[in-house]
Amino acid sequence: MSALKSSNLGYPRIGANREWKKALEAFWAGKLSEEAFTKELETIRLQHLKKQQDKGIDLIPVNDFSWYDHMLDTAVMFGLVPERFGYEGGVVPLKTYYAMARGNQGATACEMTKWFNTNYHYIVPELDGAEPVLTENRPLTAYREAKEKLGIEGKPVLVGLFTFLKLSKGYDTDALDEVIQYFLPLYTQILKELEQEGVKWVQIDEPILVTSLTQEDVARVEAIYSALREAAPGIQIMLQTYFESVEHYAQIVALPVHGIGIDFVHGGEQNLNAIQTLGFPKDKVLGAGIVDGRNIWRTDIEASLELLTKLAEVVPYERIIVQPSSSLLHVPVTTEPEVALNPVLKNALAYADEKLDEIALIVRAVNEGKEAVAAEIKSATSAIEVLNSSKERSRTDVQQAAAQAHEQPASRTSSFDVRKGAQQARWNLPFLPTTTIGSFPQTVEVRQARQKWRKGEWDSEQYDAFVRDEIKTWMDLQEDIGIDVLVHGEFERTDMVEFFGEKLDGFAFTKNGWVQSYGSRCVKPPVIYGDVAFVEAMTVKESVYAQSLTSKPVKGMLTGPITILNWSFVRNDLSREQVAYQIALALREEVEALEQAGIEMIQVDEPAIREGLPLKEDQKQPYLDWSVFAFRLSTSTVKDTTQIHTHMCYCEFHDMIDSIRDLDADVISIETSRSHGELIFSFEESTYNKGIGLGVYDIHSPRVPEVEEMVSMIERALRVLDPELFWINPDCGLKTRGKEETVASLRRMVEAAQQVRKASQIKA
């Protein structure tokens, strides 16, 4: 029997200690020259490759590393730079590359949106009539580097043409066939050059193939891969899918490629059934994604070996490559620093490095026999069993409450129309009220103070006094700027999910469990490993203090149950729905505590509802139904006069407007500035009859917006939305921005609101 082989699909960019992030931010701040920055990233990249080499991975991906984002990399490789950035051709300079991602004072950044149903966000390519050219063959450069410097016969990774175009904007969808023809010669050129270089395998990522495609789309994919095969017949293409089961399985596996990569973790049951019932081509290699690339739990090795046995009944081992279910971009680097975790939990975790070890272990178990690795298999099985039987996963009171959630009240006492009148009488807000989303800049001083407190250098009294001073500073600033509904600024919070997880039962926190969210923005998701329960009030102290400083309303700020769920690493022994209900019932107690303390505007943020939306059409509505129910479960027991706000990131509003309306929030704010026009179009097609604030400027960019830009956004929105229900706000929290730019931007935002108010009075 020929040996089973191993592969990886992508490795985390950020480094074990976030070296990549630190280098980017030092370069942006002018503390690192371009030459030094380039050298630092090369060092990080080669370390990652060497680690995979040392672990014995047979097919090591190259060109999975990025300077910011892989979709942006692909766009600049084809010279797709919007006109506003002043690009004049050739290899795209780093200054232009990062301006596309972050914006600059002269040009707004490109839109950013989520990568399928993950917590990673990519930069959306803008085609807009551009004529693509191959500015540089990045996969070839990456291949040469790995071979010359480490002796690695790498597997270049490339975003597939069809996925790239489906995720881009700026072209008429009716002209898709024509657009494909513009790009196809560039893809064939890349492959020809790789073939000439002697590359054996190339990984072409087409995750779009797990979404709902038409037969016309499948025909386009067939034509693309026929052309690629004809252009470079000597190179072996691994057509890689992930995140779900393959649509149109029979046609996709028949494509003229040498291998098909399939996810057997997410959508695995459907994929296995397709292989068992429809077979698998005898001339192709199966990339079997059997180690979860998106969650942090150890693999059940016995179950994986059983799965491989089933696959081997159809595809012999010599044509199977064991790999993660997706790129390991979505998990932290290594569990080694997690010495402070409960050993029961730590032993059940596997980050990227440990997942590569698991892949190697599975391959050894097949190639050498299970007896050769019996101790390692036993250790993995035991770790999972010990966690599953722990007291943290055995709280019957919490489990029963979640199981009976639909017997709980989950509707407001009165309709929105009744509440609207009661709330206006209670608050007497001006026309077009202004507010912010919740957080203010987390300065170096704020972060240092938190570190001193966590390290024990400050006691809780010192730290609380510091936080109160920050709250007062920003309460005074908000009053001076003229904002109508204030926030306390969230200076006591590291992260909008981590903060709540630290105060609820059932969560654990890692030391180094960082993952990339977008660009250099890294997050450290909590680990939901046990049953989730309320312990004590979490936000009341700071909110009540802030309210004592002003006669204006102050919003209490919470993170919603679905966002906490979707932005955490979630236990895999319960359904996500049941975990969401546990979180919702815990948050309900916090909402009620705020109201009882006199905080009667409460924002329950749900920016991540869309991120958890399943990729399959038939699974979307059930998910939305229980997500909406979880939100209402946490917010529906308050008085009519208590105003419930929520915040969401741009989410193709038209796709889920009914569900958003069903949240029954009194006010919703939406992150839209990079895609404001598309969202306004949604409102031209569909009505929304509750309070709403469309973000009027982009907080992800350091540029201070002009008043006229925001006035234009407001006026366009008011053509399709009820002016009496419209709010003015930035499009997201201001945690990552600097103080000066934040104050300047908010002053201009208030000025824009005042201009529109005056214009409305004149018209009236």
Identity (one letter) of the amino acid at 225?
A: Y
61-93 b/e (C-beta count within 10 Å ≥ 16 → b): bbbbbbbbbbbbbbbbbbbbbbeebebeeeebe
611 is in an annotated binding site: yes
Amino acid, res. 296: I
DSSP-derived letter for residue 163 is H
SS3 readout for 580-615: HHHHHHHHHHHHHHHHHCCCCEEEEECCCCHHHCCC
439 is in an annotated binding site: yes
Q: Does 195 count as an annotated binding residue?
A: no
Task: Give the CA distances from residue 732 to residues 397, 646, 680, 727, 736, in Å, rounded to whole numbers and listed in that order.
Answer: 37, 11, 17, 14, 10
Our answer to whether residue 330 is catalytic in this structure is no
Q: Residue 19 annotated as binding?
A: yes
Residue 235 CB partners (closer than 8 Å, separation 6+): 191, 194, 195, 199, 200, 201, 202
Q: Is 110 annotated as a binding residue?
A: no
Q: Any bridge partners for residue 262, and if so which? A: 288
480 is in an annotated binding site: no
370: three-class secondary structure by DSSP: helix
CA-to-CA dists, residue 341 to 247, 387, 495, 518, angstroms: 40, 13, 19, 27
Residue 572: DSSP 8-state: S
Residue 605 in marked binding region: yes
| End-to-end C-alpha distance for the chain, whole angstroms | 84
Other Cβ atoms within 10 Å of 40 Cβ, number: 18
> Could you tell me where the beta strands, DSSP code E, fall in 179-229?
201-205
Both structure tokens of 286: 């199966």
Task: Specify the DSSP element, H or E, that contains 274.
Answer: helix 268-278
Token output for 614: 């399943």
CA distances from 751 to 267, 281, 504, 701 (A): 50, 65, 41, 20
751: amino acid identity, one letter: E
Q: Looking at this protein, which amino acid is placed at residue 421?
A: G
The whole-angstrom separation of Cα 344 and Cα 584 is: 26
d(CA 672, CA 731): 6
Cβ neighbors of 127 (< 8 A, separation 6 or more) are 80, 168, 169, 170, 171, 179
Is there a binding annotation on residue 119? Answer: yes
Cite the beta strand spans of 334-407 per DSSP E: none
Q: Going by C-beta distance under 8 Å and a sequence separation of 6 or more, which residues neighbour residue 459? A: 453
Catalytic-labelled residue, pool 121, 645, 676, 700? 700
Residue closest to 326 by CA, chosen among 280, 297, 287: 287
Q: Are 648 and 660 in contact (CB under 8 A)?
A: yes
**Residue 651 assigned ligand-binding role:** no
555 belongs to an annotated ligand binding site: no
Shortest CA distance to 584 belongs to which of 521, 639, 537, 626? 626
Binding site annotation covers 438?
A: yes
Residues sharing a CB contact under 8 Å with residue 574, sequence separation 6 or more, in sequence order: none
Kindly list the distances between the CA atom of residue 120 and the CA atoms of 214, 287, 327, 516, 706, in Å, as whole numbers in the listed order. Answer: 26, 23, 12, 7, 30
Amino acid at 715: E
Give the strand pairing for 521-523 and 515-518.
Answer: antiparallel
Beta strands in 525-600 (DSSP E): 527-533, 555-559, 569-570
Is 647 annotated as a binding-site member?
yes
Rounded Cα–Cα distance for residues 114 and 102 (Å): 16
Phi, psi (deg, nearest 5) at residue 62? -125, 155
Nearest alpha-carbon partner for 180 in 213, 216, 145, 230: 216
Q: Is 453 annotated as a binding residue?
A: no
Residues in the annotated binding site for Zn(2+): 647, 649, 662, 671, 732
Residues in the annotated binding site for L-methionine: 437-439, 490, 605
Residues in the annotated binding site for 5-methyltetrahydropteroyltri-L-glutamate: 18-21, 114, 119, 521-522, 567, 611
Residues in the annotated binding site for L-homocysteine: 437-439, 490, 605
Active site positions, annotated: 700
